[in-house]
Chain A
Amino acid sequence: QKEVEQNSGPLSVPEGAIASLNCTYSDRGSQSFFWYRQYSGKSPELIMSIYSNGDKEDGRFTAQLNKASQYVSLLIRDSQPSDSATYLCTSWGGSYIPTFGRGTSLIVHP
């Protein structure tokens, strides 16, 4: 059974702080990883993708991947109230079906 584990939260951070969202996966064959953001009542939208070990930066977002530890994280710098949402971690293990985590709720308070 392929699993992606995320702390459900909520993770509460003050505006301007760094939010750190973490995810672990069970399938060692997983090759690619995606972070989606889902606002309440809306559908998921892609934030970042990462395929290789290390860091990948895009604006205020940094994705980190450590395949040896089967660990993926998303850092959000200078967090804004508009970043308040649920963040879904997804892994692909070489099949056509991704495995989604249940998401971490992030609250950025002014």
Chain B
Amino acid sequence: GAGVSQSPSNKVTEKGKDVELRCDPISGHTALYWYRQSLGQGLEFLIYFQGNSAPDKSGLPSDRFSAERTGGSVSTLTIQRTQQEDSAVYLCASSLSSAVGQETQYFGPGTRLLVL
């Protein structure tokens, strides 16, 4: 079946502009995660959704970052007034989430964001 998809695959924007990143999880996966990975760095957790609810937003770096999920499926991550330090690869992952911590996360290909 289809895996996790993300769009756009690449995004170049100017400092101060808003960007919207999209994630389509695997059908039937109720848990969805957003991560950020800077060049040569590990994965930085941003936000987690269970269904349409976000029980944990603790990883969002600032109030310029927000995310939503609708219909228990597609999620969008919005970055307002982008800064150069926002440049990174933004990864989305989904899992069945039938049991806490027991589920494999399936990652999308990522969106490479470059803020000029």
B101 in contact with A43 (CB, 8 Å) = no
For A46, what are the chain B residues with a Cβ–Cβ distance below 8 Å? 104-106
Number of residues from B at the complex interface, CB < 8 A:
23
Nearest CB of chain B from residue A29's CB, rounded to whole Å? 10
Neighbour of B101 across the interface among A42, A88, A93, A103, CB < 8 A: A93
Nearest CB of chain A from residue B60's CB, rounded to whole Å? 13
Inter-chain CA distance A100–B108, complex, in Å, is 17
Inter-chain CA distance A43–B112, complex, in Å, is 11
Q: Mark B92-113, 1 if CB is under 8 A from A, else 0.
A: 0000010011101111111000
For B50, what are the chain A residues with a Cβ–Cβ distance below 8 Å? 96
B104 in contact with A43 (CB, 8 Å) = no
The SS class assigned to the A binding surface is loop
Say whether, besides A42-B109, A45-B107, A92 and B42 are in contact (CB < 8 Å). Answer: no
A95 in contact with B100 (CB, 8 Å) = yes
Inter-chain CA distance A46–B93, complex, in Å, is 12
Q: For the complex, is A49 an interface residue (Cβ under 8 Å from B)?
A: yes
Nearest CB of chain B from residue A36's CB, rounded to whole Å? 8
Q: For the complex, is B55 an interface residue (Cβ under 8 Å from A)?
A: yes
Say whether, besides A96-B31, A96-B55, A97-B48, A32 and B109 are in contact (CB < 8 Å). Answer: no
Inter-chain CA distance A16–B95, complex, in Å, is 34
Q: For the complex, is B67 an interface residue (Cβ under 8 Å from A)?
A: no
Say whether, besides A43-B110, A44-B107, A100 and B42 are in contact (CB < 8 Å). Answer: yes
Inter-chain CA distance A101–B33, complex, in Å, is 17
Point out which of B31, B59, B97, B110 has the most chain A C-beta atoms below 10 A from its C-beta. Answer: B110
Chain A contacts with B in 39-63, Cβ cutoff 8 A: 42-46, 49, 51
Chain A contacts with B in 87-110, Cβ cutoff 8 A: 88, 92-98, 100-103
Neighbour of B104 across the interface among A34, A51, A88, A103, CB < 8 A: A34
Nearest CB of chain A from residue B48's CB, rounded to whole Å? 6
Which residues from chain A sit less than 8 Å from chain B, CB to CB? 31-32, 34, 42-46, 49, 51, 88, 92-98, 100-103
